[in-house]
Structure 1
Amino acid sequence: MPFVNFNAGKIVKIWDGISGTLAHSESSTFGHFTIESGTDLPEHSHVHEQWCHVLEGELLFTINGETELLTSGMTAFIPSWLPHSAKALTECKVIDCFTPVREDFKTLEENQL
């Protein structure tokens, strides 16, 4: 899998208001996601390190109580288990990278038509 075409991938609903295409390696999950305007991602944490890079839009991101407005070209890094949340102020296009692999996302892919 040296090359991935995210334009041709299966669109997976991750949560209400968040969907996109995924690719997985042995150690990471990489996703191209659209977050609908007004979508709230409630505070949560997970074992995965996460990088969230904004391609388009305005995403209000909170990590461990610190909030930043992310716009095109900005990235948030979330260490393992650190609580984080976000709100899409506009429609957003983001790239997320998770380490280790998001097995829950792989299950979503398998279970969605």
Structure 2
Amino acid sequence: MAETKLFSRAGEGEWTTTPDGNRRRVLLHTDELMMVEFGFEKGGVGALHSHPHVQSSYVAEGRFEVVIDGKVETLSAGDGFIVPSNLVHGVKALEAGRLVDTFTPHRADFLA
């Protein structure tokens, strides 16, 4: 069994383009938990979607319009949000920015 990676350093990890034209990189993961950084250009959209994973997100940089279950909030660097399992959610970058998301359990689709 491979040793679990316990630490992540700035700049580590390969960026991949997401289906909606943004970018992401998996920072750390176990079977139970995953941490992923997402990068958005101004106007970038994380399309409305849902998944069985519980998600928490931290706005590391920028400003985002966040929709969760029809509720809309504008969040800035230092703010965060939680998406319970299966709720429809999405974001729009009001300026270039980054989100750091955690998922439980991990998103196997991000590792494929």
The question of a shared fold, defined as TM-score above 0.5 by the shorter chain, is answered with: yes
The match for 1:110 is none
Aligned to 1:87, what secondary structure does the other structure show? strand
Quick check: which one's helix share is greater?
1
Deviations 1:4-23 (A, max 9, x none): 22412111222333213212
Q: SS where residue 25 of structure 2 aligns? A: strand
Gaps of 5+ in 2: none
On the 8 A contact 1:33/1:94 being kept in 2, the answer is: yes
State the partner residue of 1:100.
105
TM-score by length of structure 1 reads 0.87
Structure 1 runs of 4+ with >6 Å offset: none
Aligned partner of residue 8 in structure 2, secondary structure: coil
RMSD: 1.3
* Matched positions, count: 107
Q: Structure 2 CA distance, aligned partners of 1:99 and 1:88?
A: 24
Per the normalisation by structure 2, the TM-score is 0.88
Partner of 2:11 in structure 1? 7
Letter in structure 2 aligned against 1:10: E
Letter in 1 for 2:100: I
State the identity as a percent: 33
